[in-house]
Each structure stands twice: as C-alpha cells, then as structure tokens.
Amino acid sequence: MKTVAALLSMAAMAHALVATTSEPSLSQIKTAAATTLPESPVSNVKGVAFDRFYQIWMENVAYTDSAADPNMQWLASQGILLTNYHGVTHPSEPNYCATGGGDTFGMDWDDWTQIPSNISAVPDLLDTKGISWAAYQEHMPYPGFQGFNYSNQETYEDDYVRRHNPVVLYDTVVANETRARQIKNFTDFEEDLANNKLPQWAFFTPNITNDAHDTNITFGAKWERHWMSALLANEYFMNNTLVLLTFDEDMYDLSDKNATFDQGNRVYTILLGGIIPDDLKGTQDDTFYTHYSSIASVSANWGLPSLGRWDCGANIFEIVANKTGYINYDVDLTNLYLNHTYNGPLTTGMLEEYFGGSSDLKKVAGSAWTWPVPNTDAKCSAGNGVLEAVKETYSGMSATYNYTSPYPWDEASGYNVNVTATRKTSNSTSNSNSSSTNATSTTSGAGRSSRISLGAAFGSMVALLVLLQ
C-alpha cells in the first residue's frame, strides 16, 4: 500500500507539474505565509438536530480492517457506528470532490483539478443562511494556499496535499479571496478553538502521516483517538455538535493485480459529538449512506437547498431524518458498484497507465464530455429544493443524471443500472428487518434525460464496466 501510495503521489505530482505553471515557489510560500491572515467567521444558526457539523477524513482503509482496530472500536463506543456508509469511487480525490460539490464529474485520478465557478459547492449552500464554515488542513502553509502540495521541509515527505482538500478544488470557493482564507491549517483550528471562534461547518484533513495514508490503520486510529479525546472532553467544542469520522475510500492498491475491491467501498464511519444521546452511544445505524449523505444531512438540518447533484436524493443521517421526518431508502448492495464512476469532464484515463497497458481501464478523453447539468426542480431529500444560483445557471436545461436517486447511477453507460432501492417503512428503525412497503424502484429503464456526444466514448465506457466486473 505504501509503495502504491508513493507511486500515486509521484504520478499525480508529475502530472500537476505539467498541467500547471503557477505552482508557487518556496520563497513565494514563505512570503505569503508571513502576511496572509486566516479568516474566522462565526455564526449561530440553529439546526433541527445540531448547530455544528465537523467531519474528519482518514484514508484508504477497508471496513473490516478499521473494525478490527481497538482505537477505532473505542471511538465507536463513544457514538453511533454507521455500518453501511460508502465511499463513492476510487481513488482519493474524486471522493473529496464528491463531498465538496455533490459529484465526481467522472474524476478517476488524483491529479490537479480546478472546477469552474459556475459549479456550486457546499459553502454556497451554507452562505445562503450565513452559516460560518472552514476547512482545516493540517500543515497547509498559509490560509488560501492553492498549490498542489506542501512537503515536510526537513524530510521532503508528503505532508499537506491538495487532493485531500474538498473545497480548494472549487473555483466558486477560492475565486473569492475572503472565502479562500477560510481554508487554513490545524494551528488555526487550535486558535479558533481557544478563542471560541469555531465555525458551524468544518472539514478536517489530517496530514498524510496521521490520516493513515502513508502509515496504516494502527497509526491512524491511534492518532485519531488521541486527537478526538481532547475534543470530546471540551465543552465548547461538543456543544450541539455532530462529528463525522470517516475514510475517503476502502483499500485501494493498484499494484495488486489480484485485488478485488469487493467490499463495495464500505468505510468504517462514526458519528460523535454533544448531540449523541447517552442511550445511543455504542449503538449502530445500518442505513445506507454515501459521502453525498453528509451534504443532504447538513441541508436537512439547517433548512438549506440542495446542489441538485447526488446530494439531492442521498439518504439523510437517521439522527437528522428522525427530526425532519424524511424516510430513507434501503439500497440493495448486490449490483451496486461504488468502486468506479461514470466518465465525465474530469476523466483522465490515468488509471489505465497503472494497469500496465492492460485493458483493465480505458481512457475516454475528458474533452468529449461536458460538465453534467444538475437537477433544478426537484424537492430533494432535504426537502428544500435546489440552490437559486444553480437554477439560474442551468435554467431550462435537463439534468444529465437522475440525481434524485439515493445512489449514483447512469443509464447511458450502464453504471449501477440494476440496483434496487426501496423506501423504508416509516416507523422502521435502521436495524429492523421489518418488511418494506412495495414502493420498490429499479433504475433500469428510467434515465437521464440528455447526453452529449457518446459514440466511441460510450464504447470505451462499456469496456471499462465489463472489465471492472
């Protein structure tokens, strides 16, 4: 895993160096670090289930490996274990991208990515109600840093990496210099905590040592338990707070040609924080969730609109859904593939290279695809419709995918077409085996309403799907 990790990161860096000419030099970084101040907005908007939402993402560990770790078990005993929560694809970056903006846009690698500003992201939802937010990125050299990475300056080992930062990828966020400075490091977090200036929404990325990427679950879980323990004892931090601890994806080892990523990208996920009632500590919630569920849950909690992408139909954390009355879907995992995604403008084909020129994965040029059009008229699982800015930008256009589904799928490429989702019965608990209503829907036959140039690209996508099976 380590060799592969190094390989991935080198390849991604080489690509980035080719792709960008604006990577700041070390002296530019030093100058900026000396003068750039973090932005720490505060607000107090009441939510139905929580007043603050913080998520901490670790890297690349299969569910069963996390579940076997005693420190992860301890963390689960302090909250609710989500046993059916999934990453949405491989490798890392598209998962971060998904949680930041509700789509992978076909991304299949960890390379330099900038998403155009006519695509909305979570901060745009939060800003509709003035809900303060931040992204805390360990060892990011200064607030708003947009470079590809920042290494340990003594060992030159990977430390901060852009590909694990969900909001920096979106131009809608970083094009605004004030918003860019809400992306800051763990030192800034310690200051915000000490000054009682925590935001209401935050994303935490530990560096690549602590997040288990360049180490392993034993190391990562030990770090996470230690780091969380101090916060779990902090009254200010815990006050009406919901914390989501998760992993970007399950194991991903390209060097192992025999690897069968057969765990459906399920990742060990825990809800913690002051809003978890004592009687639910140490329990589990078996509802199907994905990274898109965190966006839908935040929207439901604060009465925010949807991005109109995969957050629109995503299941909502039961602890929130119980309060808003939303009935989640049971999703049959039998034919569900969350270990790759459909092709789109961010498909690079770089995975193909690392399958050694074998025919495992086929490149489909990103330029053959336009940016997918979001849904603009759905009510969505959070119940508040779609963001005004999204409606304006895409007015009169039909959605590329059926974004009201609780899992991603695409009819044109045959992606997840045979998956079945069923509404839970309204009074069933997530753990119950009670029979469902008959409102079962398969995705087959009902599909996205528009698609651009398919042709050869479609053929290759079919090849990819066949080979992935």
Ligand X SMILES: *[C@@H]1O[C@H](CO)[C@@H](O)[C@H](O)[C@H]1NC(C)=O
* Binding of ligand X by 262 (CB under 6 A): yes
**Residue bearing tokens 């690079």:** 348
Q: In what order do the strands lie in the sheet with 329-331?
A: 329-331, 420-423, 440-442
For this structure, is 377 an active site residue? no
**Window contacting ligand X (CB under 6 A); options: 7-15, 98-106, 315-323, 370-378:** 315-323
Size of the site for ligand X (CB under 6 A): 58
Return all residues near 40 (Cβ < 8 A) that are at least 6 apart. Answer: 134, 182, 188, 191, 192, 195, 197, 199
What is the nearest approach in angstroms of ligand X to the Cβ of residue 253? 10
* Binding of ligand X by 193 (CB under 6 A): no
Return all residues near 432 (Cβ < 8 A) that are at least 6 apart. Answer: none
What is the nearest approach in angstroms of ligand X to the Cβ of residue 282? 13
Residue 138 is classified by DSSP as T
Please give the structure tokens belonging to residue 63. 């569910």
* Binding of ligand X by 395 (CB under 6 A): no
* Binding of ligand X by 152 (CB under 6 A): yes
Which helix (H) or strand (E) is 34 found in, with range? helix 26-35
**Window contacting ligand X (CB under 6 A); options: 91-99, 107-115, 202-210, 246-254:** 202-210
Q: Which is nearer to ligand X, 75 or 421 (CB)?
A: 421
DSSP assignments along 49-98, one per residue: S-SEEEEEEE-S--HHHHHT-HHHHHHHHTSEEETTEE--SSSHHHHHHH
Which of 93, 103, 111, 127 touches ligand X (CB under 6 A)?
127
Return all residues near 16 (Cβ < 8 A) that are at least 6 apart. Answer: 23, 111, 112, 148
Alpha-carbon torsion, ordered 44, 127, 227, 96, to 10 deg:
160
214, 248, 285, 311: which is the annotated catalytic residue? Answer: 214
Please give the structure tokens belonging to residue 451. 């698609």
Residue 436 is classified by DSSP as P
* Binding of ligand X by 164 (CB under 6 A): no
Q: Which is nearer to ligand X, 20 or 240 (CB)?
A: 240
Question: Restricting to residues 224-243, which ones interact with ligand X according to CB under 6 A?
Answer: 235-236, 239-240
* Binding of ligand X by 404 (CB under 6 A): yes
What is the nearest approach in angstroms of ligand X to the Cβ of residue 59? 13
Catalytically active residues are: 214
Where does this chain bind ligand X (CB under 6 A)?
33, 38, 44, 51, 127, 138-139, 141-143, 152, 157, 159, 176, 178-179, 184-185, 187-188, 207, 209-210, 216-219, 235-236, 239-240, 257-258, 260-262, 264, 280, 285, 313, 318-319, 322, 337, 339, 402, 404-405, 414, 417-418, 421, 427, 429, 438, 441, 446, 468
